[in-house]
Amino acid sequence: MAKRIVLSSVLAVLIVAGLLPVLAMGVKSIIVDGRFSLENYKALLTLGRAQTLISHSVALSLLTTFFATIIGLPLGILFGKTDLPFGKLLIVLFAIPLLIPPYITAISWFYILGREGVIGRWLGPSLAELTSKWLFGLPGCVLILFSTFLPIVILLTVTYLKTINPRLEEAGRLVSDWPGVMRSITIPLILPGVLLAVMLVFLLSLGEFSVPSFLRYNVFPVESFTQFSAFLNFSAATVAAIPLAIVTFFVLALESYFLREKTYQVRPVHGTSFTERIQLGRNRNWLFALSALLCFVIVILPSLVLIVQSLSVNAYSLAIAKAGDSLIRSLLYAAVGASVLTVIGFLSGYLVQTRALPFWQTTDSLTIFLFALPSTVIGIGLISLWNRPWTNFIYATPVIIIIGYVAQYAAISSRITVSMLTQIPPSMEEAAQVAGAGWFRRMALIVAPLAKRGLMAAWLVGFIFCVRDTGISMIVYPPGLDTLPVRTFTLMANAPAGLTSALCVIMICAALVPVGILTAAFKARML
């Protein structure tokens, strides 16, 4: 009974935090001047630009997914399966763009490829003109989203490689060389993980607003924002998000049909004394050079440009003076958000993994759906739902931001928990049950301690996503209580380049330093 109540409450929380706001927006989209009307939907279908928006959105998502996969998969294999030097360091470096708001990466590329950027200063204005045109369009958007989401493919590939029983590959090696083993055994075994990465990259690229908006490339999320901001039309904005919702549903349905059972089985192999690594031999050096070069171009160079731009006498003191309070708030909100997400994710992950109640699949799909939905829709939905005199204690306080985080990012902590719980034999909980332990005691004394590493990982990843969040926070933050990404975004307009760069560098540190310290602390405790 206790289990039923608690797990049902998790679904209720997700519905209240995420689904109701979205439904509130959906209702608004069919009410025009107080009456039922499908006018906004008709307008979308007859919109002259609808075809352009569809082709832009699909092209951006497909190209980003394509490049992230064909480069991320080999890199993941190189880092996770071969004797490439500094593999772990490269994984950490490649992960940096995922930890910071994508628009910051866009700003740094603007300082490189823009009309008055580094290229222009070094190689002349005519080339800069060309690179600027290239940046402000599909190629620029693809470059930035590719560098942002590439770590998803790399990390999932590395993670799934750890799930392969080395004996299978060893057996394969008896009759074939490594390329053959990779083709016939390794890649088919990690395929579910790669396809999960493909799905995530596709959905995240499809819903991304800040980069196409900054680079003035019209896609559906930008259209939705434009309807909000320029035409002040909430209904049309919601309608503009409908194609995204449809595509998300479609992709989720595919995942549910083909992948779900397989992607849950992330179970690193234990008990094997030796996992064979591919010896790269004479290819080792040039493959390392190539990986390092890519890392330099898409990670180090943009960060360096920001650091160099910010190296002025006053930039950092001015940045701290203008945004120090926002930085502290960002860290606090992210810590609270990550803690709540860990609890919600743990319970929903438990529900999904154990299939304890019939609505486990609904819970899982809901979290993924909310994760892929544009933050604009969730944000405005939260305002519509919570801005009432009797809910001011939520709406006029940072609690509204935390609710937004729960709505958008529950999928991450839930999926991490699922992966961790699959590694815990069900017999552990069953034994405690036989001994008479109630569900709360089993969860508190058996499951949670055994899933401790997963919970810590969920907290860290939740923290990263909350601290880098721009979309939700920007729409719902209470007056005077903004976060650092929001402050950076609003200060960017007409601020000196040094100040903007310093804010971006502080933002990167705000994401990386706490994560580094906490990771080190967690590791120390584990040892």
Partner 1 sequence: MKRIFVGSILLILAASLWGCGRRAAEVVVYTSEDQVFSEPILKDFEKETGIQVKAVYDTEESKSTGAMNRLLAEKDNPQADVYWANEPVRAEILRQRGISAQYVSPNAKGIPDNFKNPEGQWTGFSARARILLVKKSLTEKPRSILSYTEPRWKGRVVIANPLFGTTTAEIAALFIVWGDNKTKTFLDAMKRNQIRISTSNGESADLVASGEFDFALVDSDDGVSRMKQGKPVEVVFPDQDKADVGSFIVPNAVVFIKGAPHPDNAKKLIDYLLSKETERKLAFAECAQIPLHPGVETPPVVRRIETIKTMKVDYAEVAKKMQEIQPVLKTWVGY
Among 48, 179, 281, 436, which residue sits at the site for partner 1 (rule: CB under 8 A)?
48
Question: With CB under 8 A, what is the number of residues at the site for partner 1?
Answer: 66
Mark the segment that binds partner 1 (CB under 8 A) among 80-88, 250-258, 296-304, 337-345. 337-345
Residues 314 to 333: which contact partner 1 by CB under 8 A? 322, 332-333
Decide: 194 and 157 in contact? Cβ < 8 Å. yes
Q: Is 64 in the site for partner 1 (CB under 8 A)?
A: no
CB half-sphere exposure, 131, CA atoms < 13 A: 21
Find all residues with CB under 8 Å of 35, minimum gap 6, and list them: none
Reading the block at residue 146, the tokens are: 């590719």
The residue among 494, 487, 505, 513 whose CA lies nearest residue 306 is 505
In the set 393, 525, 526, 527, which binds partner 1 (CB under 8 A)? 393
- For 512, counting Cβ atoms within 10 Å of its Cβ (0-12 exposed, 13-18 middle, 19+ buried), the class is middle
What is the secondary structure of 338-370 as a DSSP string? HHHHHHHHHHHHHHHHHT-STTHHHHHHHHHHH
34 binds partner 1 (CB under 8 A): no
Is residue 526 part of the contact set for partner 1 (CB under 8 A)? no
The residues, any chain, with a CB within 8 Å of residue 129's CB and separated by 6 or more, are 115
Pairwise CA distance, residues 30 & 37, whole Å:
5
CB closer to partner 1 out of 67 and 350:
350
Minimum distance from CB of 377 to partner 1 (Å)?
11
376, 414, 473, 501: which one binds partner 1 (CB under 8 A): 376
> Token pair of 57, please?
């959105």
Q: Report whether 144 contacts 105 (CB < 8 A).
A: yes
**By CB under 8 A, is residue 226 in contact with partner 1?**
yes
Task: Determine if 129 is a binding residue for partner 1 (CB under 8 A).
Answer: yes
Helices (H) and strands (E) in the chain — how many of each? 30, 2
Q: Does 283 bind partner 1 (CB under 8 A)?
A: no
Among 34, 179, 358, 389, binds partner 1 (CB under 8 A): 389
Q: Under a CB-based contact definition with an 8 Å cutoff, are residues 310 and 505 in contact?
A: yes
- Is residue 402 near partner 1 by the rule CB under 8 A? yes
E strand map for 273-386 = none
Which H or E run contains 486? helix 484-492
Is position 448 an interface residue for partner 1 (rule: CB under 8 A)?
yes
- For position 231 contacting partner 1 by CB under 8 A, the verdict is yes
Encoding tokens for residue 500? 């903007």
Q: Closer to partner 1 at the Cβ: 105 or 263?
A: 105
Rule CB under 8 A: say whether 420 interacts with partner 1: no
Q: Does 214 bind partner 1 (CB under 8 A)?
A: yes
Binding residue (CB under 8 A) for partner 1 from 384, 417, 483, 501:
384
Residue 188 contacts partner 1 per CB under 8 A: no
What is the identity of the amino acid at 340? V
301 lies in the site for partner 1, by CB under 8 A: no
388 binds partner 1 (CB under 8 A): yes
How would you classify the pairing of strands 31-32 and 35-36? antiparallel
108 binds partner 1 (CB under 8 A): no
Output the smallest distance, CB 492 to partner 1, in A: 7
Assigned token pair, 179: 């390329």
Applying CB under 8 A, the span of 35-43, 264-272, 380-388, 502-510 interacting with partner 1 comes to: 380-388
Which x/- pattern over 468-507 shows residues binding partner 1 (rule: CB under 8 A)?
------xx-xxxxxx----x-xxxxxxx------------
Query: Under a CB-based contact definition with an 8 Å cutoff, are residues 147 and 298 in contact?
Result: yes
Q: Which stretch binds partner 1 (CB under 8 A): 140-148, 189-197, 411-419, 443-451?
A: 443-451
Task: Quote the least distance from Cβ 191 to partner 1, whole Å.
Answer: 34
With beta carbons less than 8 A apart as the criterion, state whether 301 and 143 touch.
no
Written as one letter, the residue type at 71 is: I
150-158, 168-176, 340-348, 422-430 -> range binding partner 1 (CB under 8 A): 340-348
Give yes or no for residue 450 binding partner 1 (CB under 8 A).
Answer: no
What is the rounded (10 degree) CA torsion for 309, 311, 313, 317?
Answer: 90
Whichever of 137 and 166 has its CB closer to partner 1, that residue is: 137
* 376 three-class SS: helix
User: Could you say which of 142, 351, 380, 510 contacts partner 1 (CB under 8 A)?
Assistant: 380
The three state secondary structure string of 18-41 is HHHHHHHHHHHHCEECCEECCHHH
Q: Which of 343, 424, 497, 515 binds partner 1 (CB under 8 A)?
A: 343
HSE of 394, CA atoms in CB hemisphere, 13 A: 16
CB under 8 A: which stretch of 11-19, 74-82, 309-317, 341-349 binds partner 1?
341-349
Q: Give the span between the Cα atoms of 6 and 296, in whole angstroms.
A: 48
Question: Which residues here bind partner 1, judged by CB under 8 A?
Answer: 48-49, 115-116, 125, 129, 213-214, 216, 225-226, 228-232, 234, 322, 332-333, 335-336, 339-340, 342-343, 346, 376, 379-380, 383-384, 387-389, 392-399, 402, 443-444, 448-449, 455, 459, 474-475, 477-482, 487, 489-495
